[in-house]
Amino acid sequence: MAPHNLTSNGNASIVPCENGFLDSSSLINSEKAVKEIVEQPLVEGIEDHLIEFSEAMRTVGKALRRAAEGKASAQAEASEWKRKYELERERNLQLENKVLTSVEHNGNCTEKKVENSEQHLKLMNGTNQKSQLYRGKNGIYSHEVLRDREQNSYSNVHSKLIRKASFKLHWSCNGEKNDQHKHDIVSFDKGNISTAERSSKQICLKWESPPQTVLIITKPNSSSVKVICAEMVRWLREKHLNIYVEPRVRTELVAESSYYNFVQTWKIEDGISLLHEKVDFVVTLGGDGTVLWAASMFKGPVPPIVPFSLGSLGFMTPFYSEKYKECLKSILQGPISITLRHRLQCHVIREAAKTEYETEEPILVLNEVTIDRGISSFLTNLECYCDNSFVTCVQGDGLILSTTSGSTAYSLAAGGSMVHPQVPGILFTPICPHSLSFRPLILPEYVTLRIQVPFNSRGHAWASFDGKDRKQLAPGDALVISMSIWPVPTACEGDSTNDFLHSIHHGLHWNLRKTQAFDGPREAI
């Protein structure tokens, strides 16, 4: 609304202002105009009208003043964000120049010197990053995922020519033409605590540079999967992509035709641990089990996974193999709607260990950890703690600790609830408990759970991780479980919510029944 000034004849006129806001001079003029009107000699018959008009003008003046204050506050906040952005950009550019200079200077260093120099290793392993990647004991990674990686100076010539594609994740919302929204999760403004509204947002992956390398993981012992894999490799080769497969798959392809000699693979265990540095995205051909196997290959960061359905169940495989060309074209072009599937990090601690995490290497699971009684005829006896607080004692067939992605697996069969996979929680589901009041729980993702086999237990317990790597837990042993910092990003056909609802409708035939007939008895009016 524009301010009002008095003309020479005493009438009010409107003075437009830039951007719809008043500056300080306009506010002063507006207030003077109101004051002059009020102080003018009143003419008989218009006194009531002038009083109403003066009150309205005061209200308008207050509203315009608040609008001007809001504009000033918004401009100050925008300037602060711009300053932070420029500082961060300048810091990243300085770090990149420093790393490139170091790489050129030290390009002829021997492998031994690279391994012995921690500082050189940090510089050679990543560029344009806020935090260095550290691979700790037992191959579990920490800190942040690298946005862009260069190959080590002592790698082969072909690898030097391959540069990993970079991407960024941002919150997006259906129906929004722009992506300008709050990025903070919790804000504290003028004594009021609020959270950013993200309930309608889906996570989107946008390539900042085109992907160049793809890893294909296939379901073994399937003739239909072999045919689709061979066709997909040919098609991806035409798109000038570098292709990695498992050693078993490469042997099968080369045995079929020498044309597939360009396909790359790895020979030693260390080659798997470095796959995330070479691969831009992963394609799985199979069912949910193939997705679990692909995720288990990565102990740290996991590249985006594009799962194609070639199995019996498809809670994680929304894409159809018959339309792989259209699907992969959209994936390569981007942006991609993805689901971030959380994983659990598990440590088995033996009673004889002097310190925690001493003897057993950690295990990452995407679905669930199951602790059961095995072949023993006795009930399991498990003491459960949550952040060092006693929760309960489990007496029954066992206990399931599941991610939300695994809520539609064993946990569902044991009576647990189905949960959207992007809900960051841990499902606590008993298996046939010998208690009528033992109901499943959903715990927040930040807690640490400790499942202890007490010394007075009649038998041993057994722990399995995503259905494999079965380990015996003797009295005194414990299993420590927490949420891993490395989720598994899987591509969506539509978006995360639609894919989840589609999977439970078509995979489980959820809540399907005949519709009630309309010609039966009716309620009396």
List active site positions. 288
CA 508, CA 503: separation in Å to the nearest integer? Answer: 8
Residue 400 CA to residue 372 CA, distance in Å, equals 9
Q: Exposed/middle/buried for 342, CB within 10 Å: 0-12, 13-18, 19+?
A: buried
Do the bridges between strand 281-286 and strand 213-218 make them parallel or antiparallel, or are there none, so unpaired? parallel
**What is the rounded distance in angstroms from the CA atom of residue 32 to the CA atom of residue 276?**
69
Tell me the sheet residues that pair with 364: 345
Nearest C-alpha neighbor of 367 from the set 286, 273, 464, 497: 464
Cβ burial, residue 423 (10 Å; 0-12/13-18/19+): middle
Q: Which two tokens stand for residue 350?
A: 């033996």
Amino acid letter for position 235:
W
Beta carbons within 8 Å of 205's beta carbon, 6+ residues apart: 167, 168, 169, 304, 334, 335, 336, 337, 338, 489, 491
Query: In which element (H, E) is residue 207 found?
Result: strand 201-207
Strand partners, 443: 426
